[in-house]
Chains A and B, each alone.
Chain A
Amino acid sequence: MGPIQHQFNPYADNGGSILAISSSKFAVIAGDTRQSSGYNIETRTAKRVFQLTPEAAIAVQGFMGDAMNLVKRLKQRLEWYHHTHNEVPSLKSIARLVQTMLYGKRFFPYYSYVILAGIDRDGTGAVYSFDPVGSYERESCRAYGSAQSLVQPFLDNMVYKKNQVPDPSLPPPVPGQRPEFDLAEVQSLLTDAFTGAAERHIEVGDGLDVLVVEKDMEMRWVHLPLKRD
Protein backbone atom coordinates (compact mmCIF):
# COMPACT_ATOMS: atom_id res chain seq x y z
CA MET A 1 0.00 0.00 0.00
CA GLY A 2 1.20 3.44 -0.92
CA PRO A 3 0.98 6.47 1.31
CA ILE A 4 -2.48 8.06 1.75
CA GLN A 5 -2.61 11.18 -0.38
CA HIS A 6 -4.95 14.14 -0.12
CA GLN A 7 -5.69 16.72 -2.77
CA PHE A 8 -7.88 19.79 -2.48
CA ASN A 9 -9.98 20.45 -5.56
CA PRO A 10 -11.02 24.09 -5.55
CA TYR A 11 -13.69 23.56 -8.23
CA ALA A 12 -17.06 21.81 -8.51
CA ASP A 13 -19.77 21.58 -11.15
CA ASN A 14 -23.22 22.61 -9.99
CA GLY A 15 -25.10 21.80 -13.22
CA GLY A 16 -27.98 23.87 -14.52
CA SER A 17 -28.45 25.66 -17.81
CA ILE A 18 -28.79 29.25 -18.96
CA LEU A 19 -30.05 30.71 -22.21
CA ALA A 20 -30.46 34.13 -23.83
CA ILE A 21 -32.13 35.23 -27.05
CA SER A 22 -32.22 38.75 -28.47
CA SER A 23 -34.19 40.44 -31.20
CA SER A 24 -34.16 43.98 -32.53
CA LYS A 25 -36.27 45.48 -29.70
CA PHE A 26 -35.80 43.14 -26.76
CA ALA A 27 -33.74 40.42 -25.13
CA VAL A 28 -34.73 37.55 -22.88
CA ILE A 29 -32.33 35.84 -20.54
CA ALA A 30 -33.21 32.73 -18.56
CA GLY A 31 -31.86 30.02 -16.32
CA ASP A 32 -33.27 26.99 -14.55
CA THR A 33 -33.32 27.04 -10.75
CA ARG A 34 -31.90 23.61 -9.95
CA GLN A 35 -28.49 23.50 -8.27
CA SER A 36 -26.99 20.04 -8.03
CA SER A 37 -23.87 18.25 -6.88
CA GLY A 38 -23.49 14.87 -8.55
CA TYR A 39 -26.85 13.08 -8.22
CA ASN A 40 -27.80 15.31 -5.30
CA ILE A 41 -30.09 18.34 -5.53
CA GLU A 42 -28.70 21.13 -3.33
CA THR A 43 -31.60 23.50 -3.96
CA ARG A 44 -34.60 23.78 -6.25
CA THR A 45 -34.66 27.57 -5.98
CA ALA A 46 -31.16 28.70 -6.98
CA LYS A 47 -30.80 32.06 -8.70
CA ARG A 48 -28.67 32.19 -11.85
CA VAL A 49 -30.09 35.29 -13.53
CA PHE A 50 -29.44 38.78 -12.14
CA GLN A 51 -30.35 42.31 -13.09
CA LEU A 52 -27.28 44.56 -13.28
CA THR A 53 -28.52 47.91 -14.61
CA PRO A 54 -31.93 49.06 -15.94
CA GLU A 55 -30.90 47.72 -19.37
CA ALA A 56 -28.46 44.87 -18.63
CA ALA A 57 -28.80 41.43 -17.07
CA ILE A 58 -26.42 38.55 -16.50
CA ALA A 59 -26.79 34.77 -16.21
CA VAL A 60 -24.09 32.49 -14.84
CA GLN A 61 -23.46 28.76 -14.83
CA GLY A 62 -20.67 26.41 -13.80
CA PHE A 63 -19.17 26.37 -10.30
CA MET A 64 -21.68 28.48 -8.38
CA GLY A 65 -19.10 29.45 -5.74
CA ASP A 66 -17.08 31.26 -8.41
CA ALA A 67 -20.16 32.40 -10.34
CA MET A 68 -21.78 34.07 -7.32
CA ASN A 69 -18.53 35.76 -6.39
CA LEU A 70 -18.14 37.05 -9.92
CA VAL A 71 -21.64 38.53 -9.91
CA LYS A 72 -21.07 40.09 -6.50
CA ARG A 73 -17.81 41.75 -7.54
CA LEU A 74 -19.25 42.80 -10.89
CA LYS A 75 -22.14 44.58 -9.14
CA GLN A 76 -19.57 46.26 -6.91
CA ARG A 77 -17.57 47.45 -9.94
CA LEU A 78 -20.76 48.81 -11.53
CA GLU A 79 -21.49 50.78 -8.35
CA TRP A 80 -17.96 52.23 -8.38
CA TYR A 81 -18.37 53.13 -12.04
CA HIS A 82 -21.50 55.02 -11.12
CA HIS A 83 -19.68 56.87 -8.31
CA THR A 84 -16.72 57.94 -10.45
CA HIS A 85 -18.50 58.74 -13.74
CA ASN A 86 -22.02 59.56 -12.54
CA GLU A 87 -23.65 57.40 -15.20
CA VAL A 88 -24.70 53.80 -15.76
CA PRO A 89 -22.33 51.86 -18.05
CA SER A 90 -23.66 50.57 -21.37
CA LEU A 91 -24.05 46.87 -22.09
CA LYS A 92 -21.01 47.00 -24.37
CA SER A 93 -18.89 48.49 -21.57
CA ILE A 94 -20.12 45.90 -19.07
CA ALA A 95 -19.15 43.18 -21.54
CA ARG A 96 -15.60 44.52 -21.74
CA LEU A 97 -15.50 44.83 -17.93
CA VAL A 98 -16.57 41.19 -17.56
CA GLN A 99 -13.78 40.20 -19.95
CA THR A 100 -11.09 41.95 -17.88
CA MET A 101 -12.50 40.51 -14.65
CA LEU A 102 -12.45 36.98 -16.06
CA TYR A 103 -9.03 37.34 -17.69
CA GLY A 104 -7.73 38.83 -14.44
CA LYS A 105 -7.96 35.32 -13.09
CA ARG A 106 -6.44 33.70 -16.21
CA PHE A 107 -4.25 31.32 -14.20
CA PHE A 108 -6.84 30.40 -11.54
CA PRO A 109 -10.05 30.97 -13.51
CA TYR A 110 -13.57 31.63 -12.34
CA TYR A 111 -15.05 28.30 -13.41
CA SER A 112 -18.14 30.00 -14.73
CA TYR A 113 -19.86 30.46 -18.06
CA VAL A 114 -21.40 33.90 -18.45
CA ILE A 115 -24.09 35.35 -20.70
CA LEU A 116 -24.89 39.06 -20.70
CA ALA A 117 -28.11 40.29 -22.27
CA GLY A 118 -29.97 43.56 -22.56
CA ILE A 119 -30.52 46.60 -24.71
CA ASP A 120 -27.55 48.22 -26.41
CA ARG A 121 -27.13 52.01 -26.61
CA ASP A 122 -28.27 51.88 -30.26
CA GLY A 123 -31.59 50.54 -28.93
CA THR A 124 -31.30 46.95 -30.17
CA GLY A 125 -31.45 43.79 -28.11
CA ALA A 126 -28.07 42.14 -27.57
CA VAL A 127 -26.53 38.99 -26.15
CA TYR A 128 -22.86 38.63 -25.21
CA SER A 129 -21.45 35.21 -24.32
CA PHE A 130 -18.14 34.53 -22.57
CA ASP A 131 -15.83 31.61 -21.93
CA PRO A 132 -14.38 31.12 -18.40
CA VAL A 133 -11.24 33.17 -19.17
CA GLY A 134 -12.97 36.10 -20.86
CA SER A 135 -13.14 35.44 -24.61
CA TYR A 136 -16.42 37.00 -25.69
CA GLU A 137 -18.68 37.56 -28.66
CA ARG A 138 -21.93 39.36 -29.45
CA GLU A 139 -24.60 36.97 -30.73
CA SER A 140 -28.36 36.65 -31.19
CA CYS A 141 -28.72 33.58 -29.03
CA ARG A 142 -26.65 31.33 -26.81
CA ALA A 143 -27.22 28.38 -24.50
CA TYR A 144 -24.72 27.39 -21.80
CA GLY A 145 -24.56 24.66 -19.21
CA SER A 146 -25.32 20.99 -18.85
CA ALA A 147 -28.06 21.07 -21.49
CA GLN A 148 -26.31 23.35 -23.98
CA SER A 149 -25.78 20.53 -26.45
CA LEU A 150 -29.52 19.76 -26.34
CA VAL A 151 -30.64 23.36 -26.69
CA GLN A 152 -28.13 25.06 -29.02
CA PRO A 153 -29.01 23.03 -32.17
CA PHE A 154 -32.69 23.79 -31.51
CA LEU A 155 -31.86 27.50 -31.35
CA ASP A 156 -29.83 27.25 -34.59
CA ASN A 157 -32.92 25.80 -36.21
CA MET A 158 -35.59 28.11 -34.76
CA VAL A 159 -33.73 31.42 -34.28
CA TYR A 160 -31.15 31.40 -37.09
CA LYS A 161 -33.46 29.25 -39.29
CA LYS A 162 -30.52 26.93 -40.08
CA ASN A 163 -31.27 24.14 -42.59
CA GLN A 164 -34.59 25.80 -43.43
CA VAL A 165 -35.16 26.94 -46.98
CA PRO A 166 -36.85 30.38 -47.09
CA ASP A 167 -40.19 30.74 -48.87
CA PRO A 168 -39.29 31.68 -52.48
CA SER A 169 -42.23 34.11 -52.64
CA LEU A 170 -40.71 36.20 -49.81
CA PRO A 171 -37.86 38.69 -50.33
CA PRO A 172 -34.46 37.10 -49.64
CA PRO A 173 -32.98 37.79 -46.18
CA VAL A 174 -30.35 40.53 -45.97
CA PRO A 175 -27.03 38.99 -44.84
CA GLY A 176 -25.99 40.06 -41.35
CA GLN A 177 -29.43 41.44 -40.46
CA ARG A 178 -30.62 40.70 -36.92
CA PRO A 179 -33.53 38.26 -36.68
CA GLU A 180 -36.92 39.87 -36.15
CA PHE A 181 -39.19 38.14 -33.64
CA ASP A 182 -42.10 38.86 -31.45
CA LEU A 183 -41.68 38.54 -27.73
CA ALA A 184 -44.40 35.89 -27.33
CA GLU A 185 -42.72 33.75 -30.01
CA VAL A 186 -39.32 33.97 -28.31
CA GLN A 187 -40.81 33.21 -24.89
CA SER A 188 -42.45 30.07 -26.25
CA LEU A 189 -39.12 29.02 -27.83
CA LEU A 190 -37.51 29.52 -24.45
CA THR A 191 -40.04 27.39 -22.55
CA ASP A 192 -39.90 24.70 -25.26
CA ALA A 193 -36.11 24.62 -25.02
CA PHE A 194 -36.14 24.24 -21.23
CA THR A 195 -39.02 21.74 -20.98
CA GLY A 196 -37.20 19.64 -23.59
CA ALA A 197 -33.94 19.90 -21.66
CA ALA A 198 -35.68 19.08 -18.35
CA GLU A 199 -37.14 15.98 -19.98
CA ARG A 200 -33.76 14.58 -21.08
CA HIS A 201 -31.15 16.00 -18.70
CA ILE A 202 -31.06 15.14 -15.00
CA GLU A 203 -29.33 18.39 -14.00
CA VAL A 204 -32.07 20.60 -15.46
CA GLY A 205 -35.46 21.11 -13.82
CA ASP A 206 -37.42 22.50 -10.86
CA GLY A 207 -38.07 26.01 -12.14
CA LEU A 208 -37.29 28.62 -14.75
CA ASP A 209 -36.36 32.26 -14.09
CA VAL A 210 -36.78 34.53 -17.09
CA LEU A 211 -35.80 38.19 -17.26
CA VAL A 212 -37.44 40.10 -20.09
CA VAL A 213 -35.60 43.28 -21.17
CA GLU A 214 -37.64 45.40 -23.54
CA LYS A 215 -36.67 48.69 -25.12
CA ASP A 216 -37.95 51.72 -23.13
CA MET A 217 -39.60 49.46 -20.56
CA GLU A 218 -38.83 48.31 -17.08
CA MET A 219 -37.25 44.86 -16.84
CA ARG A 220 -39.64 42.18 -15.69
CA TRP A 221 -39.39 38.68 -14.27
CA VAL A 222 -41.34 35.65 -15.42
CA HIS A 223 -41.20 32.50 -13.29
CA LEU A 224 -42.32 29.14 -14.62
CA PRO A 225 -42.35 25.69 -13.03
CA LEU A 226 -40.33 22.84 -14.54
CA LYS A 227 -40.39 19.09 -13.83
CA ARG A 228 -39.02 18.33 -10.35
CA ASP A 229 -38.05 14.66 -10.95
Chain B
Amino acid sequence: MSIMELNGGSCIAMVGKGCVAIACDLRLGNQALTVACNFEKVFPATERTYYGLPGLASDTVTVRDKLRHRINLYAMKEERTIEPETFCHLVSSTLYERRFGPYFVEPVVAGLNSKDEPFIAATDLIGCINFAKDFVVSGTASEKLFGMAESLWEPDLEADDLFETISQTLLNAVDRDAYSGWGAVVWIIEKDKVTKRWLKARMD
Protein backbone atom coordinates (compact mmCIF):
# COMPACT_ATOMS: atom_id res chain seq x y z
CA MET B 1 0.00 0.00 0.00
CA SER B 2 1.40 3.38 -1.00
CA ILE B 3 0.80 6.29 1.35
CA MET B 4 0.02 8.47 -1.70
CA GLU B 5 -2.96 6.21 -2.46
CA LEU B 6 -4.41 5.97 1.06
CA ASN B 7 -7.01 8.74 0.67
CA GLY B 8 -7.17 8.98 -3.14
CA GLY B 9 -7.91 12.11 -5.19
CA SER B 10 -6.61 13.91 -8.27
CA CYS B 11 -5.93 17.40 -9.60
CA ILE B 12 -5.29 18.93 -13.01
CA ALA B 13 -4.46 22.41 -14.35
CA MET B 14 -4.55 23.69 -17.94
CA VAL B 15 -3.52 26.81 -19.82
CA GLY B 16 -5.86 28.65 -22.18
CA LYS B 17 -5.80 31.96 -24.04
CA GLY B 18 -5.43 34.60 -21.32
CA CYS B 19 -6.88 32.17 -18.79
CA VAL B 20 -6.05 29.11 -16.73
CA ALA B 21 -8.17 26.33 -15.27
CA ILE B 22 -7.60 24.13 -12.27
CA ALA B 23 -9.82 21.25 -11.20
CA CYS B 24 -10.01 18.46 -8.65
CA ASP B 25 -12.27 15.61 -7.63
CA LEU B 26 -14.06 15.58 -4.26
CA ARG B 27 -13.32 12.11 -2.86
CA LEU B 28 -11.81 11.43 0.53
CA GLY B 29 -11.38 7.74 1.20
CA ASN B 30 -9.77 5.26 3.54
CA GLN B 31 -8.35 2.86 0.94
CA ALA B 32 -11.43 1.35 -0.80
CA LEU B 33 -13.93 2.91 1.64
CA THR B 34 -15.24 6.33 0.61
CA VAL B 35 -15.53 8.55 3.68
CA ALA B 36 -16.52 11.93 2.22
CA CYS B 37 -17.63 13.43 -1.09
CA ASN B 38 -16.94 17.07 -0.25
CA PHE B 39 -13.19 17.08 0.22
CA GLU B 40 -11.92 19.87 -2.01
CA LYS B 41 -8.23 19.77 -2.86
CA VAL B 42 -7.94 23.16 -4.56
CA PHE B 43 -7.35 26.29 -2.47
CA PRO B 44 -6.79 29.98 -3.24
CA ALA B 45 -3.29 31.41 -2.66
CA THR B 46 -4.30 34.89 -3.83
CA GLU B 47 -7.31 36.21 -5.72
CA ARG B 48 -5.95 34.87 -9.00
CA THR B 49 -3.57 32.08 -7.98
CA TYR B 50 -4.93 28.69 -6.94
CA TYR B 51 -3.23 25.45 -5.99
CA GLY B 52 -4.29 21.83 -5.61
CA LEU B 53 -2.82 19.39 -3.08
CA PRO B 54 -3.82 15.79 -3.80
CA GLY B 55 -2.14 13.06 -1.80
CA LEU B 56 -2.32 12.14 1.89
CA ALA B 57 -5.34 14.09 3.22
CA SER B 58 -3.77 15.06 6.57
CA ASP B 59 -0.80 16.50 4.70
CA THR B 60 -3.15 18.29 2.28
CA VAL B 61 -4.58 20.17 5.27
CA THR B 62 -1.19 20.68 6.97
CA VAL B 63 0.53 22.00 3.84
CA ARG B 64 -2.47 24.21 3.03
CA ASP B 65 -2.26 25.81 6.51
CA LYS B 66 1.51 26.14 6.31
CA LEU B 67 1.31 27.81 2.90
CA ARG B 68 -1.47 30.14 4.06
CA HIS B 69 0.80 31.24 6.91
CA ARG B 70 3.71 31.90 4.55
CA ILE B 71 1.50 33.68 1.97
CA ASN B 72 0.22 36.01 4.70
CA LEU B 73 3.72 36.77 6.00
CA TYR B 74 4.85 37.44 2.41
CA ALA B 75 1.94 39.85 1.86
CA MET B 76 2.72 41.76 5.07
CA LYS B 77 6.46 42.00 4.46
CA GLU B 78 6.29 42.80 0.75
CA GLU B 79 3.00 44.76 0.85
CA ARG B 80 1.76 43.01 -2.31
CA THR B 81 0.28 39.66 -3.17
CA ILE B 82 2.51 36.82 -4.28
CA GLU B 83 3.01 36.07 -7.99
CA PRO B 84 2.21 32.51 -9.15
CA GLU B 85 5.84 31.96 -10.25
CA THR B 86 7.10 33.08 -6.82
CA PHE B 87 4.43 31.04 -5.06
CA CYS B 88 5.49 27.96 -6.97
CA HIS B 89 9.06 28.35 -5.69
CA LEU B 90 7.68 28.89 -2.19
CA VAL B 91 5.78 25.60 -2.48
CA SER B 92 8.92 23.90 -3.76
CA SER B 93 11.17 25.09 -0.93
CA THR B 94 8.47 24.37 1.67
CA LEU B 95 8.42 20.76 0.49
CA TYR B 96 12.19 20.40 0.12
CA GLU B 97 12.59 21.58 3.72
CA ARG B 98 11.17 18.16 4.59
CA ARG B 99 13.43 16.29 2.10
CA PHE B 100 13.97 13.26 4.33
CA GLY B 101 10.51 13.13 5.91
CA PRO B 102 8.31 14.53 3.18
CA TYR B 103 4.71 15.70 3.10
CA PHE B 104 2.91 13.20 0.87
CA VAL B 105 1.31 15.72 -1.48
CA GLU B 106 1.98 16.51 -5.14
CA PRO B 107 0.95 20.14 -5.63
CA VAL B 108 -0.46 21.75 -8.76
CA VAL B 109 -0.33 25.55 -9.13
CA ALA B 110 -2.36 27.68 -11.56
CA GLY B 111 -2.78 31.41 -11.83
CA LEU B 112 -2.42 34.63 -13.80
CA ASN B 113 0.57 36.82 -12.98
CA SER B 114 0.54 40.63 -12.70
CA LYS B 115 1.05 40.88 -16.49
CA ASP B 116 -2.11 38.73 -16.95
CA GLU B 117 -0.02 35.87 -18.38
CA PRO B 118 -1.22 32.35 -17.58
CA PHE B 119 1.03 30.22 -15.40
CA ILE B 120 0.80 26.58 -14.36
CA ALA B 121 3.23 24.24 -12.66
CA ALA B 122 3.33 21.06 -10.64
CA THR B 123 5.85 19.60 -8.23
CA ASP B 124 6.56 16.18 -6.80
CA LEU B 125 6.34 15.48 -3.07
CA ILE B 126 9.83 16.88 -2.36
CA GLY B 127 9.44 20.00 -4.49
CA CYS B 128 10.88 19.25 -7.94
CA ILE B 129 9.08 21.77 -10.17
CA ASN B 130 7.58 20.96 -13.55
CA PHE B 131 6.89 24.18 -15.48
CA ALA B 132 4.58 23.10 -18.29
CA LYS B 133 3.16 25.24 -21.08
CA ASP B 134 0.12 23.03 -21.67
CA PHE B 135 -1.23 21.06 -18.69
CA VAL B 136 -0.11 19.44 -15.45
CA VAL B 137 -1.69 16.50 -13.63
CA SER B 138 -1.37 14.96 -10.20
CA GLY B 139 -2.94 12.36 -7.94
CA THR B 140 -4.09 8.74 -8.16
CA ALA B 141 -5.64 9.23 -11.64
CA SER B 142 -2.56 11.00 -13.05
CA GLU B 143 -1.87 8.41 -15.79
CA LYS B 144 -5.47 8.56 -16.98
CA LEU B 145 -5.38 12.36 -16.83
CA PHE B 146 -2.23 12.36 -18.98
CA GLY B 147 -3.92 10.17 -21.59
CA MET B 148 -7.06 12.32 -21.71
CA ALA B 149 -5.29 15.68 -21.62
CA GLU B 150 -2.74 14.67 -24.25
CA SER B 151 -5.60 13.95 -26.66
CA LEU B 152 -8.11 16.67 -25.75
CA TRP B 153 -5.95 19.72 -24.99
CA GLU B 154 -5.09 22.25 -27.68
CA PRO B 155 -3.36 25.65 -27.48
CA ASP B 156 -5.17 29.00 -27.08
CA LEU B 157 -8.57 27.79 -25.88
CA GLU B 158 -11.01 30.48 -24.80
CA ALA B 159 -12.30 30.27 -21.21
CA ASP B 160 -15.55 28.44 -22.10
CA ASP B 161 -13.79 25.90 -24.30
CA LEU B 162 -11.06 25.41 -21.72
CA PHE B 163 -13.77 24.67 -19.15
CA GLU B 164 -15.26 21.96 -21.38
CA THR B 165 -11.81 20.48 -22.09
CA ILE B 166 -10.64 20.31 -18.49
CA SER B 167 -14.04 18.99 -17.32
CA GLN B 168 -14.12 16.16 -19.88
CA THR B 169 -10.48 15.36 -19.12
CA LEU B 170 -11.10 15.14 -15.38
CA LEU B 171 -14.45 13.31 -15.47
CA ASN B 172 -13.40 10.59 -17.91
CA ALA B 173 -10.07 10.09 -16.12
CA VAL B 174 -11.57 9.76 -12.63
CA ASP B 175 -14.27 7.38 -13.92
CA ARG B 176 -11.46 4.90 -14.70
CA ASP B 177 -9.83 5.39 -11.28
CA ALA B 178 -11.26 3.63 -8.23
CA TYR B 179 -9.62 6.11 -5.82
CA SER B 180 -10.83 9.33 -7.45
CA GLY B 181 -14.19 10.80 -8.41
CA TRP B 182 -17.36 11.25 -6.32
CA GLY B 183 -17.88 14.78 -7.63
CA ALA B 184 -15.60 17.40 -9.15
CA VAL B 185 -14.90 21.15 -9.00
CA VAL B 186 -13.46 23.35 -11.74
CA TRP B 187 -12.00 26.84 -11.32
CA ILE B 188 -11.61 29.08 -14.37
CA ILE B 189 -9.30 32.03 -13.74
CA GLU B 190 -9.60 34.91 -16.19
CA LYS B 191 -8.16 38.45 -16.19
CA ASP B 192 -11.04 40.03 -14.29
CA LYS B 193 -13.12 37.06 -13.22
CA VAL B 194 -12.79 33.77 -11.36
CA THR B 195 -15.54 31.16 -11.79
CA LYS B 196 -16.03 28.06 -9.67
CA ARG B 197 -18.26 25.31 -11.03
CA TRP B 198 -19.34 21.99 -9.50
CA LEU B 199 -19.68 19.19 -12.05
CA LYS B 200 -22.31 16.50 -12.08
CA ALA B 201 -20.31 13.30 -11.88
CA ARG B 202 -20.79 9.56 -11.42
CA MET B 203 -21.02 8.73 -7.72
CA ASP B 204 -19.57 5.21 -7.87
Contacts and interface: CB of A to CB of B under 8 A. Distances in A.
Interface of A: 147, 149-154, 156-157, 162-164, 192-193, 196-197, 199-200
Nearest to B153: A196
Nearest to A143: B147
Given A150-B143, A150-B144, A153-B144, A200 B150 contact: yes
Contacts of A156: 172, 175-176
How big is chain B's contact interface, by range? 10 to 19
Contacts of A164: 168
A154 B172 contact: yes
B171 interface: yes
A147 B148 CA distance: 12
Given A147-B147, A151-B147, A163-B171, 17 more contacts: A149-B143, A149-B147, A150-B143, A152-B176, A153-B148, A154-B147, A156-B175, A156-B176, A157-B148, A163-B167, A163-B172, A164-B168, A196-B147, A196-B150, A197-B147, A199-B150, A200-B146
26 contacts: A149-B143, A149-B144, A150-B146, A151-B147, A153-B144, A153-B175, A153-B176, A154-B147, A154-B148, A154-B151, A154-B152, A154-B172, A156-B176, A157-B148, A157-B168, A157-B172, A162-B171, A162-B172, A162-B175, A163-B168, A163-B171, A163-B172, A164-B168, A196-B151, A199-B150, A200-B150
B147 A200 contact: yes
Given A163-B168, A164-B168, A153 B173 contact: yes
Contacts of A199: 150
A214 B146 CA distance: 32
A147 to B, nearest CB: 7
A154 B172 CA distance: 7
B73 to A, nearest CB: 38
Interface string B121-154: 0000000000000000000000110111011100
Q: Which applies to chain A's interface (DSSP): helix, strand, loop or mixed?
A: helix
Q: Which of A152, A163, A199 has the most CB of B within 10 A?
A: A163
Q: Which 7 A-B pairs have the closest CB atoms?
A: A150-B147, A196-B150, A163-B171, A157-B172, A153-B172, A149-B143, A196-B151
A149 B150 contact: no
Nearest to A150: B147
Q: Which of A147, A153, A157, A164 has the most CB of B within 10 A?
A: A153
A151 B191 CA distance: 34
A152 B171 CA distance: 13
Interface in B165-204: 167-168, 171-173, 175-176
Contacts of A163: 167-168, 171-172, 175
Q: Which of B146, B151, B152 has the most CB of A within 10 A?
A: B151
Contacts of B168: 157, 163-164
B150 A150 contact: yes
A136 B175 CA distance: 22
A147 B172 CA distance: 16
